[in-house]
Chains A and B, each alone.
Chain A
Amino acid sequence: MNNLAALSPLLCVVLGALLVLLLEVLFNKENKSYLGYVSLAFLAGGAALCVRSWNKLYSFFNGTLILDNLALFFFLLFSLAGAFIILLSLKYISDQEANHGELYSLLLLALSGMMIMVSSPDLLVIFLGLEVLSVSCYALAGLKRKDEKSAEAALKYFLLGSFASAFLVLGLALLYGAAHSMVISGIIEYFQAGTASKTMGLIGLGLVIVGFAFKIALVPFHMWTPDVYEGAPTPMTAFFSVAPKSAGFAVLLRIFLDFWGASAETEFVFWALWVLSVLTMVVGNLIALRQTNVKRILAYSSIAHAGYMLVAVLAGDQSSLVFYLTAYLFMNVGAFAALIGMSKKGKEYNELEDFAGIGFKYPWIGGTFAVFLISLAGFPPTAGFLAKFYVFSAAVRVGLVPLVVIGVLASLISVFYYLRIVVAMYMREPSPDREVTIDQENPALFLVLFLCLYGVLQLGIFPGNILTIIRMAVSFL
């Protein structure tokens, strides 16, 4: 149905971003929390508009913006992620010298970029959405302006990100030249019909995949990830590890939904992605073993998780991928929330040694962190277990047994480094020369911790409701 209502959630978020900018200029208060609350209000408004559009299939701009249920589900997921990140930033930015009200504005703009990406079948629009997201993220990474690591993170993110964008643009050009279309369905048609040589389209698609692989950090295009994740302000790291990944996978889901098994060319793309998936799972987990900085461990773990998600794309199973992304949102944001909790004014504790004995000293942060880590490792009864279970069983159903075996082995490796943190928290004595005291007066942080804990357990023990919603979301495709 062609209706201006299709624009409403997006407009709400962009309006929020503009209003935050305006308020920041007009009032310029030292305490920026009120800007966070304004952003939260607009995110909630956008989410309400999404719920209202459910099942209506609104579209606008000649079908270049389509609000199907999958797009709406991702809108809601992004809004939730955005709300968590805002809550985590409230105290963090004044404590850690990143006190800029524009943070909330940039965050909302990044969210709008992701919304643009997931709600369009047109690759040009998707590319522009990706650029809105990337440009905002480059700035968000450098928000701790006096911190050298943060500036370097912004630099690396930007330099490699724009390098990847150039590949993406050339890929789009080749696809356009070969398929005479920038719409996903047109490109799939081109690959499936006719017998003419498709080398050009194939190379174009390859370059597009390389561009996306950079953005969602698949091995071997992950070089930027650990340094950027380590240097960026921690709430932003949580954002980078969750949000752009979900948006990227949502796009891959749309591109590869009806793609597999039509011709020799699609077969080639399949095996290329297969290799990427194996590399990502194995290399991500192996390098994580060597790290001693918890933020870096989480960075490599997020790389490895992208590998598991790629398994779902290869299996062509939408609902397990969407479920994985949902579970990943709760457990990863939760883990980063606990990491943010390990700080006091002007000081963050990220080294593994800092975590010695934390489990008893600060039971809430330690306890929830342990649950999130166990979920990331994939133990029952948590969301991480079910997510992996659904993805791997979907892959077995379509006969990808070797891939699943590698995936299971890789996640066995990952158990080791997740549990290393848990062991440090509960079984190691704190060394006397490393005094760790943290400031616990942060109600917003504890709210996020408990909401994520609830999400991880709800999805892990009673996944029925959310599965029903996800099935509704993907059945429209």
Chain B
Amino acid sequence: MIPVSYFFGLSLLLFALGIIAFFIKRDLITMFMAVEVMLNAANLAFISLAKASGSLSGQVIVFFIITVAAAEAAIGLAIILLVFRQKKTIKVEEFRLMKG
């Protein structure tokens, strides 16, 4: 039997990698992929914690988070397309992102 804490540790590692990817990557699509990695890491955390507490509710909650991720993917990719049509680029430098 694998200890649940292994899974939990893995989920935190993935979340951290997601953060790193979000800050390092310079194109919008991959940045958004990094956010998806973070959401998935949180899902893994949910399922491992549900397992640890012997309850099913954590698994149901993951359903909802997957739905949220799908909805965000739809709107997010639409926004990225909108931006691409105007600027013909998806490099972050072209957008004054995070400027005071």
Direct A–B contact in the complex, CB atoms closer than 8 angstroms: yes
B22 surroundings in chain A (CB, below 8 A): 163
Question: In the bound complex, do residue B53 and residue A180 qualify as a contact, i.e. CB atoms below 8 Å apart?
Answer: yes
Question: In the bound complex, do residue A170 and residue B42 qualify as a contact, i.e. CB atoms below 8 Å apart?
Answer: yes
A142 surroundings in chain B (CB, below 8 A): 79, 82
B97 surroundings in chain A (CB, below 8 A): 155-156, 159
Question: In the bound complex, do residue B87 and residue A148 qualify as a contact, i.e. CB atoms below 8 Å apart?
Answer: yes
A170 surroundings in chain B (CB, below 8 A): 15, 38, 41-42, 45
- Smallest distance from the beta carbon of B72 to chain A beta carbons, Å? 5
- Chain B interfacial residues counted at CB < 8 A: 43
Q: A148-B86, A170-B38, A177-B49 are in contact. Are A155 and B72 (CB under 8 A)?
A: no
**Interface residue? A358 (CB, 8 A):** no
Question: In the bound complex, do residue B79 and residue A158 qualify as a contact, i.e. CB atoms below 8 Å apart?
Answer: yes
- Smallest distance from the beta carbon of A163 to chain B beta carbons, Å? 6
Q: A152-B95, A155-B80, A156-B97 are in contact. Are A165 and B68 (CB under 8 A)?
A: yes
> CA A156 – CA B32 in complex, angstroms?
12
Interface positions, chain B 30-53, Cβ under 8 Å from A, are 31-32, 35, 38-39, 41-43, 45-46, 49-50, 52-53
Per-position binary interface string of chain B over residues 56-72, scored 1 when its CB falls under 8 Å from any chain A CB and 0 otherwise: 01100100110010011
**Chain A residue nearest to B4 in the complex (CB):** A177
A-side interface mostly? helix
Chain A, interface size category, equals 35 or more
> CA A138 – CA B39 in complex, angstroms?
19
**Chain A CB within 10 Å — which of B28, B42, B99 has the most?**
B42
Picked from A128, A160, A177, the residue with its CB within 8 Å of the CB of B68 is A128
Interface residues in chain B, defined as those with a beta carbon under 8 Å from any beta carbon in chain A: 8, 15, 18, 22, 28, 31-32, 35, 38-39, 41-43, 45-46, 49-50, 52-53, 55, 57-58, 61, 64-65, 68, 71-72, 75-76, 78-80, 82-83, 86-87, 95-100
What are the nearest 8 A-B pairs in CB distance?
A177-B49, A166-B38, A169-B42, A173-B45, A170-B42, A173-B46, A223-B98, A154-B79
